[in-house]
Amino acid sequence: MTATWCTDAQMDQRCTLARTALSAYSDALVAAGQSAVTGYDLQRVEAHRQILLALRPRGILEGDVTRTGDLQHVELALALALLFEAVQQWTELGQRELYADQARYWRAAYERDLAAAAPVDGVRPTGASFEWGRG
């Protein structure tokens, strides 16, 4: 597994519906003849990869990241969005809308938090080109 910035425990703590969604995701995989999953590793690793791709146009590569704390919630939000987006495909109609709402919420949180993140010391986030202060 690739190193990620957030943990399964943080995901469970941040979103109480996440464990239920993970169980539904695991059940769908088992029904499709695959192995059951008990953690968010797949979502966290994919979120990590997508974040690194999103940072690349800003000139930030993985080795440049010095403030991993700035990316912890970004990764958490994207991992949850990916989980809920996947689960909504396999659930019954009544549950599907709940998961779709969660997917939209966490995708928006990811986009907002990624734009505000400053994962490299001395480099300001997007849209933060100056500071107010006394000269």
* Tens digits of residue pLDDT in 35-72: 999 999 999 999 999 999 999 999 999 999 999 999 99
What residue ranges do the domains of the chain occupy? Answer: 8-116
* Tens digits of residue pLDDT in 65-113: 999 999 999 999 999 999 999 998 877 766 788 899 999 999 999 999 9
Phi, psi of 47 (to 5 degrees): -60, -45
DSSP-derived secondary structure letter, 52: H
- Give the tokens for residue 7: 């943990």
